[in-house]
Amino acid sequence: MTSPLEQKIRITGPSIVTANRTFDGAVIYRNASQGWSTDLSEAAIVRTVAEARALLAESVADDIGAVGAYIAPVDINDGGNVKPGNLRELIRQRGVTIELPLSA
Contact residues for other proteins (CB under 8 A)? 1, 20, 22-27, 63-64, 67-68, 86-88, 91-92, 95-98, 100-104
In whole angstroms, the minimum distance from the beta carbon of 20 to other proteins comes to 6
In whole angstroms, the minimum distance from the beta carbon of 52 to other proteins comes to 20
Q: Residue 74 half-sphere exposure, CB side, CA atoms within 13 Å?
A: 25
Looking at the Cβ atoms of 32 and 94, the one nearer to other proteins is 94
> Which strand ranges, in their side-by-side order, compose the sheet holding 66-76?
36-37, 27-30, 15-21, 66-76, 82-84
In whole angstroms, the minimum distance from the beta carbon of 96 to other proteins comes to 4
Looking at the Cβ atoms of 26 and 50, the one nearer to other proteins is 26
Neighbouring residues of 34: CB distance < 8 A, sequence distance ≥ 6: 58
In whole angstroms, the minimum distance from the beta carbon of 50 to other proteins comes to 25
Q: Are strands 27-30 and 82-84 parallel, antiparallel or unpaired?
A: unpaired
